[in-house]
Amino acid sequence: MAQEPVRISRSGSPVGVSFEFFPPKTEEMERALWEAIDRLAPLGPSFVSVTYGAGGSTRERTHATVARIARDTLLKPAAHLTCVGARRAELDAVIRGYWAAGVRHIVALRGDPPGGLDAPYLAHPDGYQSTGELVAAIKQAGDFEVSVGTYPEKHPQSPTLRHDIDILKRKIDAGADRAITQFFFDNDVYFRFVDLARAAGIAIPIVPGIAPVQNFKQTANFARKAGASVPAWLAERFDGLDDDPATRRLVAAAVCAEQVVDLIDRGVADLHFYTMNRADLVFAICHLIGLRAKGGRPAEGSAPAR
């Protein structure tokens, strides 16, 4: 049986992927994280990113994880950094620390208010007042690549989608190189947003964020909080599978594969996967679109922390 070919973007190049992880809280979670990294690293991602909690709540763990990826693997790490609840001097020190650790890519985000998305956002009086200011500071600090977030269905606290696009333009004016979207399940939502952004003069890559459904109820709850719609057809796919994890995983892989194949066939060249520190579904989906392990040594550091 012939091997499925690698899906090619309209540019004529294989589709690029990147993977997002969160810093572990326990030794067991750390083992799971490095097992996921070890599993996904041979696919040759463009970069792997590590999230950063609101108000710096995971600052030390994020820095340690990113530094270890930079030190012990061949992967290119991207460190998340939020400006909510932090002084400029604190964030400037974090940026310098990333540079010293060999990190050259930062995902700059505003961050959620400590009280959650329902609480009003108040910038720290001694901090950066917007993501655009943070992006400018990162660019001034060193030759960093900077990615930023964007919401194809608008941020929950934004009055209109047009307002979101205006915010994105400010981040680009400050030096952002790439935008990564919040996850979505209806591809038409993404393409409508891209069309609006291009019409507004935005030319940087807008990479779709993909969330394989590890647990439908949890994903749907998070989607509601994040302002992402959950189509009725998606709920129907998972109906009756709460106590059937094996079938649920098969359905999740099929649903996500359908989504990414459609994105690629419609011209998308790069995909960003929210892995939730689990490799099984993400690896399967990448395999289904033709990505195969590349040569060279896999990620190191996958042994349990001591």
| Annotation says 20 is catalytic | yes
Cβ atoms 182, 158 nearer than 8 A? no
Q: What is the token pair recorded at 125?
A: 């009086």
Cβ atoms 210, 178 nearer than 8 A? no
Can you tell me the distance from the alpha carbon of 294 to that of 288, in angstroms, rounded to the nearest whole number? 16
Cβ atoms 20, 49 nearer than 8 A? yes
Q: What is the token pair recorded at 284?
A: 């399967």
**Residue 113 CB burial class (10 angstroms; 0-12, 13-18, ≥19):** middle
- Cα separation values, 75 from 72, 174, 248, Å: 9, 27, 31
State the catalytic residue, choosing from 4, 20, 60, 236. Answer: 20
Q: What pairs with residue 65 in β-bridges? A: none
Cβ atoms 296, 74 nearer than 8 A? yes
Angle between helices 88-100 and 59-72 (to 10 degrees): 20
Question: Could you give the residue numbers annotated as active site?
Answer: 20
